[in-house]
Amino acid sequence: MKINKPWGTYEIILSDINYQVKKLVINPAQSISLQSHIHRSEHWIVVSGIANVILGNQSNQMEVQTGEHIFIGKEEIHRMENKSNVKLVVIEIQQGVYLGEDDITRFSDRYCRT
């Protein structure tokens, strides 16, 4: 089942006790919150498009292209942006003792969800 978000959609592909796999589709010129998670790490694999990823402070930015991946540790501040004019598709693998959607601390959010 696809879940609509202000930035695009996600769907859970596979879920178990300590891991979960999601497909994220981030619309052109959109981004997820600048955020962190207490209980889980995330591994992002870009399958289509180019992700602009912020890790830590806003000055630590990198591009992750199709076929590339990046690991985000527990409690690491991060954001993913789609600065292009085509949809960005990412497979997100979450690992941790708790994988609920409420395990999120937002530091900045263009959709006023902080």
CA distance 44 to 68: 9
Contacting residues for 27 by C-beta, under 8 A, at least 6 apart: 7, 8, 82, 87
Q: What pLDDT is attached to residue 60?
A: 85
CATH of the domain at 33: 2.60.120.10
Tally of domains within the chain: 1
pLDDT single digits (tens) 7-46:
999 999 999 999 999 999 999 999 999 999 999 999 999 9
| Range(s) of the domain holding residue 13 | 2-98
Is there a domain that residue 106 lies in?
no
Is there a domain that residue 66 lies in?
yes
Q: Band of the pLDDT at 109, cuts 50, 70, 90? A: confident
Beta bridge pairs of residue 88: 26
Beta bridge pairs of residue 44: 70, 92
